[in-house]
Amino acid sequence: MKMKSLLILPVIIISLASGFGEETDPIKDPKRKIPAQSKIEPTFHVAKGVDVNGSLIKYYKRGLDYAINYFGNYGPYHIYLLGPEDEKSVRALFRDRAESRVNPDAKETAEEQIAEFLKRSNVVKEIKSTLAGESAGGLTWTPAPARIYEDVSTNATGRAKSPTENTWGALHEYHHVFQIAHSGAEEERSSDKNSCSWMREGMATYSSAKFMENLKFINLKDYMLELRKFGANISRPGINEFISKNSDYRLDNETYWDEGKAPQVYYMIGAWATAYLIHAKGIDEETVLRDWWYDILPMGKAAAFKKHMKISLDQFYKEFDTFIRKPDDEVMKIFR
């Protein structure tokens, strides 16, 4: 799908240079076929009145730049920063978003595609949430092969009040862009060509925390302990209380999105599973967070995981399950 460059006032659209080539392979294996990086620059779409002094974009870009430098540039990537200050601006921005998704080869006309998008229940909810000053949205994408990635913040006005969380969120969401680029994201999470929920959310939770430590904002060890004790900045309860009440949980169970257990299993325990691979199993950080993903599409995630982590997924689940149930003072030893 061909992208259009569109500016509808009073929406602010800002492009950021990335400086990455089109087909860079970070691990320099000429036999590995991986999705090409993009020359298309990330684009900010900011509703009127949301970023009055420029700090919202500044601190989002702080995280985005770090993540792109680590993972590479994949796109087109559109960042929508919305707020309730100007309804006309918000509705113009959503039409802009709809136009960016128009497929010139589809049997429907451009206007029909735009109208269909704006009537979608999730889009209607996002518009209502934006105008009400509520938080909704998140990362979304169009189907392969012509993927467009979108990070939608319906309450960027509130986000602007917390520069640290703004940067943190940008780091987390861009890791997902990389992950989706290197997996069959349209398939079920149980598919061998797609990543498990814990791999996607847990690794992004860990990476964003580690990068925040690298940027001198937090202490990773303290954060990982907080995930166990009370859930840190993810949710409540923390890992310890959750496991005590849900001892039969399974890290590879993909039903928790509907059962309300996703924050604890996929994000928190998933982050600890990531830490276990790096700090207990001794697998290189870049391998766990980035390099093994290049092999998911060519090999399937089970074979790719075993190749890079030196353990099968089934063996890992058993070994990690024993570890994560240990007391705090025992599990924290992996960081020493």
pLDDT class for 145, splitting at 50, 70, 90?
A: confident
In the predicted model, what is the mean pLDDT of residues 307-330? Answer: 98
Residue 23: pLDDT over 50: no
Confidence band, pLDDT 50/70/90 cuts, at residue 19: very low
Task: Kindly list the distances between the CA atom of residue 144 and the CA atoms of 109, 134, 291, in Å, as whole numbers in the listed order.
Answer: 21, 30, 21
Summarize pLDDT for 128-140 with one digit per residue, the tens.
Answer: 999 999 999 899 9
Residue with tokens 């989002």: 60
Is the pLDDT assigned to residue 7 strictly greater than 50?
no
Residue 288 pLDDT greater than 80, yes or no: yes
Span 252-269, pLDDT tens digits: 999 999 999 999 999 999
At 35, the pLDDT band (50, 70, 90 cuts) reads confident
Say if residue 76 is preceded by a cis peptide, omega within 30 of 0: yes
Residue 32: per-residue pLDDT: 52
Is the pLDDT confidence value at 26 over 90?
A: no
Which residue ranges make up each domain of the chain? 12-181, 197-335
- DSSP one-letter string for 54-97: SHHHHHHHHHHHHHHHHH---S-EEEEE--TT-HHHHHHHHHHH
pLDDT at 158: 93
| pLDDT (0 to 100) of residue 316 | 98
pLDDT at 150: 98
Check residue 137 and give its pLDDT: 86
Looking at residue 29, its pLDDT comes to: 52
- Give the integer Cα–Cα distance in Å for 156 and 52: 12
pLDDT tens for 105-120 read: 999 999 999 999 999 9
Q: Which residues contact 41 (CB under 8 A, 6 or more apart)?
A: 15, 16, 17, 18, 75
Higher pLDDT, 16 or 203: 203
Q: Give the pLDDT confidence score for residue 13 in this predicted structure.
A: 43
Four-CA torsion 311, 314, 315, 318, nearest 10 degrees: 140
Q: For the chain, what percent of residues have pLDDT higher than 70?
A: 90
pLDDT of residue 102: 95
Q: What is the pLDDT of residue 155?
A: 96
**Would the pLDDT of 50 be above 90?**
yes
Considering the entire predicted model, what is its pTM? 0.91
Q: Is the pLDDT of residue 30 over 90?
A: no
Residue 27 pLDDT exceeds 70: no
Helix (H) or strand (E) holding 301: helix 301-309
Q: What is the pLDDT of residues 218-239, one digit of tens each?
A: 999 999 999 999 999 999 999 9
pLDDT at 1 over 90: no
Q: Are 189 and 196 in contact (CB under 8 A)?
A: yes
Return the closest-CA partner of residue 288 out of 299, 272, 268: 272
